Amino acid sequence: MRTRYAKGFVKCVVIIMATCLLGACTSPAYKTFSKEFQAYKALFIEQGRVVDTGNQGVSHSEGQGYGMLFSVVADDEKTFNQLWAWTKQTLQREDKLFHWRYVPCASGDKRCIDDPNNASDGDLLIAWALLRAADEWGNENFRQEAKAIILAMENALLYKLDKQTLLLPGEYGFVDKETSSVQVNLSYWVFPAIESVAKVSSRPGAWRKLRDSGIQLVLEAKFTQHKLPPDWLRIAANGLSVNETVNQEYGYNACRIPLHLAWAGIAQPQTYSAFNQWWQQDTTPATLNLVNGEPAEYQMTAGMQAVASAVTHLAYETPLEIDAISRKTDYFSASLILLSRMAVLDAGQ
């Protein structure tokens, strides 16, 4: 039997639905994210570029990818378009990958690029942001642009070593043919992005193998009594080491690894135990030297603390406690804060 509704009731439902679409029925977590993004935008985004305030005002592909992702989540299409336009015009190479760093200079254009190499985390983040933007705003051009980046990554950055598929940190400088070893950065395996990319790639199997290799390496790459993974890892036939790498620490790169795992719903308990024990200290150092075991003399940043809170919230259902972004927050900490909130939002919590 068909149910009849009064005209006033139908009109009320339509108004409520329209209001929800405009954002009034959003969750408290989403409202907090949107508010925090406004602070992030005011502090770090200038005319389409994300400024790394903790690193002499440079911009890099990582930051552009973060800014684009945050814009999509906050439903800020105008800011997204500005960020993507600057990124495409200033950082994108002819092969569709991105120069990794822009150092402000008088010309304010591509001539400010000081290194022709790319950074695969930035490439991956930008492609993921474009895919999410295509879904959010129905713009298929974004999806096609993402696919071009993904194809370029497949051609230049997915590297086979024995039976593993690895993600080169950049196109140049990370494969040592003399020792048959490869240097990688496990925080560049942004697992939720890899899963998203695999769905639109013509080579989904390669991305799934990349995902699996990343998880396995995180489980194996455990250094010192704390059993933490390094920022930079050398993979060779004789095993894993931090020898002759960019740095020999667990720190500002590797701190993202557990967030990427939890974000993708990778819920093996042993995956998080070492991180959780590290965070349980009365005062947790920001970094740890993985050769001599010496911790930093300063504690985790607000961004690192946000990661710890988000991961334990997702893995162990602990309360979520994340500091607000303020003028005292630098670019990287603010980015970690929004990434942590975004991971929780994506999990539907």
CA angle 51, 57, 61 (to 5 degrees): 50
Q: What angle do CA 100, 261, 71 make, to 5 degrees?
A: 50
CB-based contacts of 345: which residues, under 8 Å, 6+ apart? 29, 30, 33, 73
CA distances from 215 to 156, 204, 220, 250 (A): 21, 17, 9, 17
Structure tokens at 218: 């995180």
Helix (H) or strand (E) holding 272: helix 269-279
Active site residue 121: yes
Structure tokens at 246: 């960019």
Residue 157's nearest CA partner among 243, 98, 245 is 98
Whether 304 and 286 have beta carbons less than 8 Å apart is answered as yes
> What's the angle, vertex CA 317, arms to CA 314 and CA 318, rounded to 5?
110
The C-alpha atoms of residue 266 and residue 260 are separated, in whole angstroms, by: 9
| Per-residue tokens: 55 | 């690193």
| Residue 176 to residue 28: CA distance in whole angstroms | 49
User: For 49, what's the count of Cα atoms within 13 Å in the CB-facing half-sphere?
Assistant: 23
Q: Check 52, 95, 114, 121 and give the catalytic one.
A: 121
What is the set of active-site residues?
Answer: 121
